[in-house]
Amino acid sequence: MYTLEPNTKPLHSEARLVKRLQSSRKKDRAFSELLDLYQERIYWHIRKMVLTHENANDVLQNTFIRVYRNIEKFEGKSSLLTWIFRIAYNESLRFLEKEKKRSFQSLEDVSAYQIEALKQSEYFDGDELHAKLLKIIEELTEKQRRVFQMKYFDDLSFREISEVLEVSENTLKSSYYAAVKVIEEKILIETN
């Protein structure tokens, strides 16, 4: 059995990493290894939710601080990566809620603002079609958007998404395929 990364070590290596992370003597070195393994993947997961590079970096930092402080509570009921995805997801939601409260806007208004900021960002290298896709994704319901992003962009299985979101796999599949249908329809309209 292997972890989510195609070129990583078997799960027994993950168990050793977790053991080292939970050891006070080996924690710092093991945490550095953890960052090397997962930081980029988690960054892109967060970036899809908060959209801008600066915000993604802030949320990423908060995510890994939370991982570092709470690794002793990791029980191994899911893979370590799935557990970190769940933390990153919750940190992203916390960030979006703060943004909403700070500006007294709806999440949709925050999303529209962030899409515009993303397009202006020096780190955005997407073409017009990519920008249209992002806009369409932001128009999905929040549930559809999150499931689609995790499945399509993060390449998580429905089982893993179920663990992150704590929702049944069948419900996730319905949301995902409904999102795909909406995206396909809107892209056809956009390109015609």
In tens digits, the chain (192 residues) has pLDDT values of 333 444 444 456 899 999 999 999 999 999 999 999 999 999 999 998 888 899 999 999 999 999 999 999 999 999 999 999 999 999 999 998 888 777 655 555 545 555 555 455 555 455 566 777 778 888 899 889 999 989 988 889 999 999 999 999 999 999 999 999 998 888 777 666
| The model's pTM | 0.73
| Cα–Cα distance for residue pair 26/135, rounded to 1 Å | 44
Class of CATH domain 126-192: mainly alpha
| Cα–Cα distance for residue pair 164/170, rounded to 1 Å | 14
Q: Cα-atom radius of gyration of the chain, to the nearest Å?
A: 18
Enter the tokens of residue 56. Answer: 């993604």
Q: What is the H or E stretch that residue 111 is in?
A: helix 107-120
Q: Could you give the residue range(s) of every CATH 1.10.1740.10 domain in the chain?
A: 8-125
Q: What is the pLDDT of residue 114?
A: 53
Q: Could you give the residue range(s) of every CATH 1.10.10.10 domain in the chain?
A: 126-192
**Architecture of domain 8-125 in this structure:** Orthogonal Bundle (1.10)
